[in-house]
Structure 1
Amino acid sequence: MPRVSLALPFALLGACGAFDGALPRAGRSAASRVARAPARMATIERPAMVELPNLDGALPDCPRTEWNSDGMDIAAEQQKLKAMGLPACPLEIVATPQENAQGAAYFTENAERLRALLREHGTLWLKGFDLTKDEAGFHRFYDSIGLSPCLDPIHTSGLRAFASARDAVYQEVNKQSLAGHYIGLHNEATTKKTARFGAFVCFKPASVRGGEFFIADGAAIFRDMRTDVLKRLYERKVRISVSNLDLDVLGALGPLKEGAMDAVKGLVQQVVAPKFDMDLEMLYGADGKAMRLQAIEEVQSPVNRHPETGIPVWFCNVHNHARYLRDRRPCTVPEVGMTDVYLGDLSPVAAEDLDHINEVSHRNIATCAMAPGDVLLVDNYRVLHGRDIFEGERYHAVSWFDGWKSDVSSVVGDGGKPGNALNKLINSLIK
């Protein structure tokens, strides 16, 4: 993976964002490094640190998903991506001792440069910064770079508890009950809500082994997928099931069964589903099991246009959510938490199409063995992420953002809709 230090003047990026000189171009070897002029040691005087606000209960909701997928000529868009080429993803940025010594000031001074590189590459892998080795320092980092924090798009699901609510830092999936569960590629998104950016931080790698974080460029997956498969999925759309509720016990009710099934479905639809704010439809038998009630998202496109650059991207959680793929890799999720993916009319996605999605996804995966303090700053519309299985104790965390503070109109206040109560309750039951 190419590496770069921002110690060089930003002018070296060249006109119109094109890379020249010392900065790596797409296709250069992973060992590419930036040539440095000899640095003169100097005493760095840090500015006084302003106390950061306590964000517990004060985060704005995750923003609405920005859909722009209509009218795509899939074959033509793929050819454009192949012709233009894609830069390395992620781009490694390794701190010099001088840059590390600057602390938060480094990120304040280089915010615009980092923002431009993130737009170009989709992910920045920040290494060698001591500032980001604890929650408070991580908060200082993202505040200094100018990011605006928000709630997780599925905040109430209980999948992630806050590691530090005052710093808007969520636990990644570190629970021992899910250590043996492989998390496939996905955007942190639902049909309804999507975080604009995410910052994943390593505080402690898995103490025994595994747990590597990985990412893949959604533009590269779009480019590399077989045109017939991508076009078929685009035209037929997809629906994602996020939960199963097996109600076989109702079968013993005889003539009362149908009424009981309707009553349970109505109760879940009216009382439980709204808590997750995902526009879920409760349906029986979508997967062929008549007594299984599934919570299924609305019809969505598997592709999207990036909201800033307009480039087409694979924007779909099939690799993680398809049961066919989950059944063929390590999975420790209980049945109630099992997911699946259907076509827009609720017919199954062909196994050969899922195999192809899996193959193209893995071809584009970049595995990131993160050290304490490492941060992966991710464009969540462009780049998908996942996590390998692990053994031992692991502490990775993440914060979500609705954009850059200079661009976001929302103000941190009482925006804790949908709030922390259900999140805390669910997490108290999951060990």
Structure 2
Amino acid sequence: MASPPSPPLPVPLLRAGRPPVLPVEPGGDPAHWTARHRDALRALVTEHGALLVRGLGLRDAAGTAEVFAALSDDLMAETESFAPRQTRATGTYTTTPWPANQQMCPHHELSYATEFPGLMLFACLTEPDDGGETVVADASAVLDALPRRLVRRFTRQGWLLTRTYNDEIGASVAEAFGTDDRAAVEQHCRTHAIAYRWQPDGTLCTRQRRSAVVRHPLTGRRCWFNQVAFLNEWTLAPDIREYLVDSYGPDGLPFNTRYGNGDPLEPETVELLNGVYQALTRRTPWRSGDLLLVDNVRTAHGREPFHGRRDILVALADRVSLTDCSPTIEVTAA
């Protein structure tokens, strides 16, 4: 006997400056409700780029993991992370550690990798006292708002991520690659188009050149897809940047970005990028129990500063290959 059709979802609330909010009646089993409405929820994310489900009643990591699994058959383990996460349940992690008093610039998760999530899933178990929104920005709108000259340069050259791994700032080699075995790390780098070198003291330095503009694998929309601004030294708070430069030198920063030809980014260019993101950012305060779905290619996400405890869980879903996104440069090591 065929199962009865799922009841229709309520119409999302559309408000200027906010991602669509889908209110649901509290009560019942969140994973069961999500599974019944999976196709409709995913269709709304494709239509709007992001969707906040309010009233779902998520309370713990185990229940959240069930909801994440109901939404995607492809939950990814993160590789090449720039900061370590903690595993809270199968396919379910803490958010990237970042100082509570600092803004996390909008970005696309793992946009420097050759494989990345097509869908980001966030669940709020405990809302902060103030701030802490997971903000979103439409990547096609960002691309359209940038100066054409700058877009042409990034389209032609791509962008370059440089990393110097250490055990103090960001992810260590073992945390980023899942192993500290040199042979295994080198094999990963060769397979995923990452140039690498080991310094005499054993420190690993990597460079990877990637496309800054891609096409969405489903819709074909051109998107500004990268972490040029987020991982650049000029986005850091001045005192933190000064500390890192004093500690590691200008060429030994844990992470930094450049133009694809290796030229350094000007502070005013990074300020321009962050300004465009800020102008196009949409935000809705978290409430405990919320679920947020974000199309990781079409939509950048970030985080506002906050006060109080903030417990947000995340899953990386729906693996996408960069080669399926019409990159504008060849996928090679720098």
Same fold (TM over 0.5): yes
| 1: CA distance, partners of 2:257 / 2:277 | 16
| 1: CA distance, partners of 2:121 / 2:243 | 25
Residues 281, 383 of structure 1: CA spacing in aligned structure 2 closer, same or farther, 3 A cutoff? same
Residues 391, 239 of structure 1: CA spacing in aligned structure 2 closer, same or farther, 3 A cutoff? same
Q: Which residue of 128, 134, 146 maps to 1:206?
A: 128
Aligned positions of 1:25-36 closer than 5 A: 29-30=15-16
Counterpart of 1:243 in structure 2: which amino acid?
Answer: T
| 1: CA distance, partners of 2:187 / 2:131 | 34
| 2: CA distance, partners of 1:210 / 1:329 | 23
Compute the RMSD of aligned alpha carbons: 3.6
Counterpart of 1:399 in structure 2: which amino acid?
Answer: A
| 1: CA distance, partners of 2:318 / 2:286 | 25
Question: 1:320 aligns to what SS in structure 2?
Answer: coil
Asked if 1:159 is matched to 2:75, the reply is: no
Question: 2:39 aligns to what SS in structure 1?
Answer: helix
Q: Which residue of 101, 106, 110 maps to 2:37?
A: 110
Counterpart of 2:84 in structure 1: which amino acid?
Answer: L
**1:235 is matched with which residue?**
156
Asked if 1:353 is matched to 2:269, the reply is: yes
**2:75 is matched with which residue?**
149
**1:78 is matched with which residue?**
none
Q: Which residue of 184, 188, 199 maps to 2:105?
A: 184
**2:284 is matched with which residue?**
368
Residues 385, 402 of structure 1: CA spacing in aligned structure 2 closer, same or farther, 3 A cutoff? same
Question: Unaligned 5+ residue runs, structure 1?
Answer: 1-5, 11-21, 31-87, 246-267, 285-290, 405-431
How far apart are 1:283 and its partner, in Å? Answer: 6.8
How far apart are 1:317 and its partner, in Å? Answer: 0.3
Asked if 1:281 is matched to 2:206, the reply is: no
Paired residues of 2:12 and 2:20 also in contact (CA < 8 A): no
Residues 160, 279 of structure 1: CA spacing in aligned structure 2 closer, same or farther, 3 A cutoff? farther
Question: 2:211 aligns to what SS in structure 1?
Answer: coil
| 1: CA distance, partners of 2:316 / 2:69 | 12
Aligned length: 292
Residues 348, 138 of structure 1: CA spacing in aligned structure 2 closer, same or farther, 3 A cutoff? same
**2:299 is matched with which residue?**
383
**2:230 is matched with which residue?**
320
**1:19 is matched with which residue?**
none
How far apart are 1:362 and its partner, in Å? Answer: 0.8
Name the structure with the higher strand share: 2
Q: Which residue of 144, 155, 162 maps to 1:223?
A: 144
Paired residues of 1:147 and 1:403 also in contact (CA < 8 A): no
Question: 1:402 aligns to what SS in structure 2?
Answer: strand
How far apart are 1:352 and its partner, in Å? Answer: 3.0
**2:92 is matched with which residue?**
169
Counterpart of 1:198 in structure 2: which amino acid?
Answer: M
C-alpha offsets along residues 212-233 of structure 1, whole Å, 9 cap, x if unaligned?
Answer: 2212111111121121111122
TM-score, structure 1 as length reference: 0.59
Question: 2:235 aligns to what SS in structure 1?
Answer: helix
| 1: CA distance, partners of 2:156 / 2:266 | 15
Q: Greater relative contact order (Cα 8 A, min sep 6): structure 1 or 2?
A: 2
Residues 296, 368 of structure 1: CA spacing in aligned structure 2 closer, same or farther, 3 A cutoff? farther
Question: 1:353 aligns to what SS in structure 2?
Answer: helix
Counterpart of 1:145 in structure 2: which amino acid?
Answer: L
Paired residues of 1:180 and 1:331 also in contact (CA < 8 A): no
Counterpart of 2:276 in structure 1: which amino acid?
Answer: V
Q: Choose 1 or 2 for highest CA Rg.
A: 1
Residues 184, 149 of structure 1: CA spacing in aligned structure 2 closer, same or farther, 3 A cutoff? same
C-alpha offsets along residues 20-41 of structure 1, whole Å, 9 cap, x if unaligned?
Answer: xx777xxx644xxxxxxxxxxx
Counterpart of 1:110 in structure 2: which amino acid?
Answer: H
Counterpart of 2:287 in structure 1: which amino acid?
Answer: A
Counterpart of 1:359 in structure 2: which amino acid?
Answer: G
Residues 361, 272 of structure 1: CA spacing in aligned structure 2 closer, same or farther, 3 A cutoff? farther
Question: 2:278 aligns to what SS in structure 1?
Answer: helix
Question: 2:210 aligns to what SS in structure 1?
Answer: coil
Percent identity (aligned): 21
C-alpha offsets along residues 99-154 of structure 1, whole Å, 9 cap, x if unaligned?
Answer: x4364332222222112111111111111011x22112212222333442121243
| 2: CA distance, partners of 1:228 / 1:89 | 30
TM-score, structure 2 as length reference: 0.74
Q: Which residue of 128, 139, 144 maps to 2:65?
A: 139
Residues 376, 331 of structure 1: CA spacing in aligned structure 2 closer, same or farther, 3 A cutoff? farther
Residues 390, 9 of structure 1: CA spacing in aligned structure 2 closer, same or farther, 3 A cutoff? closer
